[in-house]
A = this chain, B = another copy of it.
Amino acid sequence: MNRGDPFSVLPLIERALTSYVERLDVGTRLRDAIAYSLLSGGKRLRPVLAWHACEAAGGEAVDALPACVALELVHCFSLVHDDLPAMDDDDLRRGIPTLHKHAGEAMAILAGDAMMTLAFEPLTTDAVSPKLGKRGELCVRLVRDLVVATTGMISGQVYDTIPGTAPGGSALERVRVIHKHKTGALIRASCTMGGSCAQLSGGGRDEDVAALGRFGDAVGLMFQIVDDLIDLEQPSELVGKRTGKDEEAGKLTYPLAYGGGAEGARQCRDEVAKLKASALAELDRFGAKAEALRELVDFLATRTK
């Protein structure tokens, strides 16, 4: 693998996702809807994080594939439900019509539900890898991590979507809670689940997984602040989804919580720099094995879409 590009694993991840969907026994129409959402591109950030976290924790990266598939299923479920008319009401996602525009609202609700429950399958069966199903304790640990992450993500979605529900006094406190849950929980889980999978090849020590969790916390918050900046500053055509919608919807974002305008954006960039430094510090213990994660942090801090 080319260490210089953390995304060079994408073909392997795409293949795992495609072959998982092909073998799904859920009826043609539901499988088509799942394929539409799951196989329509995207950054695959969570699987890529899990892959390299496994490597950093001393594992064979390929052992993280069940976690990669599980994480992307949860992520895509959340996108499909977030896009629904009763939620963010988005028509465009990854440059194509959202699932409820493509297949109807009922199917979008049900396909989201199905992806969420299916996420637990690769973690406890040989649907993706025959190795994991024989390791009861590791399966249980992965299921637990995914439950905590998904529940956290959904809480965050409540805080973000339903006015007045986010706890915290200041705008900055509230936006931190929203982001920590809505985006951060699953990114944290990507790192810990990937790290835990390293147990399949003799790695994945508890203290290493814990460090990866702290790394994930910093990366998750950084990712979301950058996302807020992109929504504020970049045109829809470039990003492949509608931008400027946070402001339009009156949503609390990081730049706004910092007072908005050029000064808000500047403070966000400072915060991104600090979080990047914290994330990188957590990787020191892993030496060269974390090189791909370092590249990934660089990319995430500077991306514009």
Enumerate chain A interface residues (CB-CB to B < 8 A): 26-30, 77, 81, 84, 86-87, 104-107, 109-110, 112-114, 116-118, 120-121, 123-125, 133, 135-137, 139-140, 143-144, 146-147, 150-151, 154-155, 157-159, 161-162, 165, 167
List residues of chain B with CB within 8 A of the CB of A165.
Answer: 27-30
- Interface residue from B30, B109, B137 paired with A84 (Cβ < 8 Å): B109
Q: Are B81 and A155 in contact (CB under 8 A)?
A: no
The answer to whether A140 touches B159, judged by C-beta atoms less than 8 angstroms apart, is: no
Q: Which chain B residues border A161 with CB–CB below 8 Å?
A: 106, 110
From known contacts A26-B154, A167-B27, infer whether A107 and B162 are also in contact, taking CB-CB under 8 Å.
yes
Which residue of B139, B157, B167 contacts A143 across the interface (Cβ within 8 Å)? Answer: B139
Ranked nearest first, the 6 interchain pairs of A and B with the lowest CB-CB distance are A136-B136, A86-B105, A117-B150, A136-B137, A114-B154, A29-B165
Of chain B, the residue at the smallest CB distance from A154 is B114
Given A110-B158, A139-B140, 9 further pairs, Cβ under 8 A: A26-B155, A29-B165, A81-B109, A81-B113, A112-B113, A113-B116, A114-B151, A114-B154, A125-B147
* Chain B residues positioned under 8 Å from A140 (CB to CB): 124, 133, 136, 139-140
CA–CA, A112 to B109, complex, Å?
10
Q: Return the chain B residue nearest A117 by Cβ.
A: B150
Q: Are A117 and B26 in contact (CB under 8 A)?
A: no
Quick one: which of A114, A123, A143 has the most chain B CB within 10 A? A143
Minimal Cβ-Cβ distance residue in B for A121: B147
Bound CA span A165–B27, Å: 8
* Nearest-CB residue, chain B, relative to A158: B30
Q: Are B117 and A147 in contact (CB under 8 A)?
A: yes
Chain B residues closer than 8 Å to A121, beta-carbon distance: 144, 147, 151
Contact B162 A106 (CB under 8 A): yes
Inter-chain contact A151/B117, CB cutoff 8 Å:
yes
- Smallest Cβ distance from A72 to chain B, in angstroms? 16
Q: Are A143 and B124 also in contact (CB < 8 A) when A86-B106, A109-B86 are?
A: yes
**Interface contact B139-A29, CB-CB below 8 Å:** no
Query: Which one, B106, B123, B147, contacts A87 given CB within 8 A?
Result: B106
Contact B124 A144 (CB under 8 A): yes
- Across-interface contacts of A137 in B (CB, < 8 A): 136
Give A301 Cβ to nearest chain B Cβ, in Å: 30
Contacts of A116 in B (CB 8 A): 113, 116-117
10 pairs, A vs B, C-beta closer than 8 Å: A26-B154, A29-B158, A30-B155, A81-B109, A86-B105, A86-B109, A113-B154, A116-B117, A120-B147, A140-B140
- In the complex, how many angstroms separate the beta carbon of A166 from the nearest chain B beta carbon? 8
Q: Please give me the residue from chain B that is nearest to A127 by CB atom.
A: B147
Could you say which of A118, A136, A140 has the most chain B C-beta atoms within 10 Å of its C-beta?
A140
A150 to B113, CA, bound (A): 9
Known contacts A81-B113, A109-B84, A125-B144; A29/B151 CB under 8 A: no
